[in-house]
Structure 1
Amino acid sequence: MYVVLLTYTAPLEEVDLALPDHAKWLEKHFQAGEFLAAGRRNPRNGGVIITRPMARGKLDAILATDPFSVGHLASYEVVEFAATRTAPEVRLLNEAIAQSA
């Protein structure tokens, strides 16, 4: 799994112009089953995406197509982790635990 931390590198006015396209991009990857959660950071200086496990190269390719990336509006920090504990509500989404259980 990955946690992707987006940090805006452009003024919010520019980010807001790209927001509808970014929302469509997010929806595409939720529909494909690649993203588990996404939302704004507080304070509003970027966002967070939690993904399913995948090859890092695939994730990098997905992130490169984000309108925020294409428009040079955000930078990305990718943190890979293997969740060894989850709440019962999330357990079915956690492939790492489901395969070892």
Structure 2
Amino acid sequence: MYIALLAYTAPRNEVDYALAEHAEWLRTHFSRGLFLVSGKGDTEHDQVILTRPCVRGKLDAVLATDPLVVQHLAHYTVIEFSATRTAHEFHAINEALAS
């Protein structure tokens, strides 16, 4: 599994113009099943995405298509981890980890 941390590299007023495209990009990857959770990070300029287990190259390719990245308004830092425990509410993740 991965945690993708998005950091803005441009002024917020420039980022704001691309947020609608970014939101649509998020919806696409939620509907495809790659993204599990997303939201605002610990500062005004950070966002966090929790993903399903996948091949790192696939995730890198997907993140490279984020409109904020394509327009050079942000970049990702990715943290890989092996989930060994999850809450019952994450039943689908439990099944993915078991396979």
Is this a same-fold pair by TM over 0.5? yes
* Displacement after TM superposition at 1:26 (Å): 0.3
Q: Is the 8 A contact 1:46 1:74 kept in 2?
A: no
Deviations 1:44-97 (A, max 9, x none): 11200011011111111101100010011111110111110111111332321x
Q: Which portions of structure 1, spanning 4 or more consecutive aligned residues, are displaced by more than 4 angstroms? A: none
Determine the structure 2 residue equivalent to 1:86: 86
Determine the structure 1 residue equivalent to 2:73: 73
Counterpart check, 1:30 vs 2:24: no
Counterpart check, 1:8 vs 2:17: no
In structure 1, distance between residues paired with 2:33 and 2:13: 30
In structure 2, distance between residues paired with 1:40 and 1:15: 14
Q: Give the TM-score of the pair, scaled to structure 1.
A: 0.91
* Displacement after TM superposition at 1:41 (Å): 1.4
In structure 2, distance between residues paired with 1:57 and 1:42: 27
In structure 1, distance between residues paired with 2:82 and 2:4: 14
In structure 1, distance between residues paired with 2:92 and 2:69: 31
Q: Which sections of structure 2, spanning at least 5 residues, go unmatched?
A: none
Q: Which sections of structure 1, spanning at least 5 residues, go unmatched?
A: none
Q: Give the TM-score of the pair, scaled to structure 2.
A: 0.92
Percentage identity across paired residues of the two chains:
56
* Displacement after TM superposition at 1:40 (Å): 1.4
Determine the structure 1 residue equivalent to 2:19: 19
